[in-house]
Amino acid sequence: MEQIAQWANDIFLWVGFGVIAGLLAKALMPGKDPGDAFATIVVGVVGTIIGAATIFFFTGIRVKPISVAGFAAAIAGSGVLLGCYRLLSGKYRGEPTRRRATTRRRVSVVEEPQVP
């Protein structure tokens, strides 16, 4: 039972930390973001997991969320994920998602007066 409580504590800690990391990554990256608040939370949580998993994969060290390495991994993972999200949505560097519909100009043909 104690192990389940520890797992729940760790999950809630990573989720809370991911929200903070997502907000900081969004604040550090210039430009407008395509997502709303829910997208920021998801990017932060998933980016934190990706950052921690990357450090574990390459070094074998488990990163705790409340540490310098955990903070750096969370910000880096969230930043990379947010950059990918912007590229896939078409809003990187302020580019519009859709092109505006252009209206055609009507060209009126003026008949020349006929001279008798």
**pLDDT tens digits, one per residue of 33-88:** 666 778 888 888 888 888 888 888 998 888 877 788 888 888 888 888 888 887 88
Query: Where are the extended beta strands (E) located within 18-103?
Result: none
Mean pLDDT of 82-97: 68
The total number of structural domains that make up the chain = 1
Could you tell me if residue 103 is inside a domain?
Answer: no
Could you tell me if residue 52 is inside a domain?
Answer: yes
Give the per-residue pLDDT at 101. Answer: 56
Give the per-residue pLDDT at 91. Answer: 59
Could you tell me if residue 59 is inside a domain?
Answer: yes
* Nearest alpha-carbon partner for 21 in 2, 41, 39: 41
Angle, helix 37-59 to helix 2-28, in steps of 10 degrees: 110
